[in-house]
């Protein structure tokens, strides 16, 4: 059977102190050259920083950063130049566009004027052609009338001659013809004398 004894208050204090020392001893970290782990980390960091300074790493980093800054500045300047060129080209094309619009308006106005002139000339030419064709038609009609009148006169003369020949043949015989011939000859003799 176990011995259960009650601890007195004084004994309890000693026990507590004793258990704290045991806990402290159990949780105490190991040290080397009087430095614990965080001390060694700090010492290593100091050593790394010292080596970096000794090897001029900050200068190298600064030089690399300066190079990169110079490259970036060059790119920024080039971009600024390109932007200025682009703005100049844009302004030039805007001016050309405005000029082209004015030129297009002028071309349209000139085309309208030329088309009005061409239309007026075409109307004038059409009127002249109509007048010429009218005169030609009138001349053809007059020529046709003259030809028809000449044909009618020729036919009338032919008909009249035929009718006269028929009438003369019916009313005159050979003795009447002799008298007529004698009369005509005597008329000619008197004229010649």
User: What is the phi/psi pair of residue 10, to 5°?
Assistant: -70, -40
Strand partners, 32: 35
Question: Which has the minimum average pLDDT: 4-13, 28-37, 106-115, 157-166?
Answer: 4-13
CA–CA gap between residue 49 and residue 136 (Å, rounded): 119
Residue 57 exposure: Cα atoms within 13 Å on the Cβ side:
8
Q: Evaluate whether 42 touches 34 at the Cβ level (below 8 Å).
A: no
Strand partners, 35: 32
Q: Do 151 and 159 contact (CB within 8 A), yes or no? A: no
What value does the mean pLDDT take over residues 65-89?
94
The domain segmentation of the chain, as residue ranges, is 35-137
Is pTM beyond 0.75 here?
no
Token pair, residue 51, equals 């080596």
What tens digit of pLDDT does each residue of 52-69 get? 888 787 888 888 999 999
31-35, 97-101, 135-139: segment of lowest average pLDDT: 31-35
């Amino acid at each position: 059977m176990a011995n259960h004894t009650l601890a007195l208050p004084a004994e309890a204090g000693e026990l507590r102190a004793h258990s704290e020392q045991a806990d402290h001893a159990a949780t105490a970290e190991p040290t080397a050259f009087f430095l614990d782990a965080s001390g060694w980390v700090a010492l290593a960091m100091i050593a790394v920083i010292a080596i970096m300074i000794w090897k001029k790493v900050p200068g190298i980093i600064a030089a690399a950063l300066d190079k990169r800054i110079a490259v970036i500045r060059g790119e920024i300047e080039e971009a600024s130049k390109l932007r200025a060129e682009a703005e100049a080209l844009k302004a030039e094309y805007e001016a050309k566009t405005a000029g082209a619009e004015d030129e297009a308006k002028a071309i349209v106005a000139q085309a309208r004027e030329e088309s009005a002139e061409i239309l007026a000339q075409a109307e004038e030419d059409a009127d002249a052609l109509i007048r010429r064709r009218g005169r030609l038609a009138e001349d053809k009609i007059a020529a046709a009338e003259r030809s028809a009148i000449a044909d009618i006169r020729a036919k009338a003369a032919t008909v009249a001659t035929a009718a006269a020949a028929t009438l003369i043949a019916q009313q005159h015989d050979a003795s009447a013809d002799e008298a007529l011939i004698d009369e005509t000859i005597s008329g000619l003799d008197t004229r010649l004398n």
